[in-house]
Amino acid sequence: MTDARQIWTGTVLPEWIDHNGHMNAGYYLVVFDDATGPWTAFLGIDRTYRISNRRSTFSIDSHLTWLRELPEGAPIVVEAELLGFDDKKYHTFMRMLHADEGYVAATHELLSIHIDLDTRRSTPLPPEIHERMNQVLSDQRTIAEPGDVGRVIRTKPWPPVTTP
């Protein structure tokens, strides 16, 4: 385990298993999405904040990487790190781990934007959220930037290009 904030725990449910006998790809995103609620609350953007301020966050970019299989019944934990933020957006990196065996099964990089729910437009984060995010960044300074951050999907050309 890392020093990242543990934000979600659960178990791979039978209905999440696909024809290959492991957790279906789509349910990894379901778990990460479920973990986003506790993460935003940890950052200060909880239900009370959303209702009283008519502000929330929307996901605007996402990258999910599958690393290892998770079988039915596997205990899982999701950890999150705040990598950075500006006046309207914040950058999160999550890891899904097999809770007993400790291996990273998947990662999720996420860019979120602060939204005015009445206008459906982006709006600056308030000072108290900036202060909270600064504190989280300070607390997580010992965590190395994850190697999967900013990964690009690509493949070698096929058929291979040959030169005369």
CATH of the domain at 93: 3.10.129.10
- Total count of domains within the chain: 1
79 vs 39: CA distance, rounded Å: 9
Write the CB contacts of 95 (distance below 8 Å, at least 6 apart in sequence): 2, 4, 78, 79, 104, 106, 107, 146
Q: Does residue 1 register a pLDDT over 70? A: no
Domain containing 65 equals 5-139
In a domain, 77, yes or no: yes
Task: Give the residue with greater pLDDT, 3 vs 45.
Answer: 45
22 assigned to some structural domain = yes
In a domain, 55, yes or no: yes
Q: Is 140 exposed, middle or buried (0-12, 13-18, 19+ CB in 10 A)?
A: middle
pLDDT at 93 over 60: yes
Residue 112 lies inside a defined structural domain of this protein: yes
What tens digit of pLDDT does each residue of 99-158 get? Answer: 999 999 999 999 999 999 999 999 999 999 999 999 999 988 767 677 778 877 777 777
| 67 vs 61: CA distance, rounded Å | 20
146 inside domain: no
For 21-32, the pLDDT digits (tens) are 999 999 999 999
- What distance in Å separates the CA atoms of residue 93 and residue 82, rounded to the nearest whole number? 7
**Mean pLDDT score of the chain:** 91
Q: What is the C-alpha separation between 8 and 73, in angstroms, rounded?
A: 16
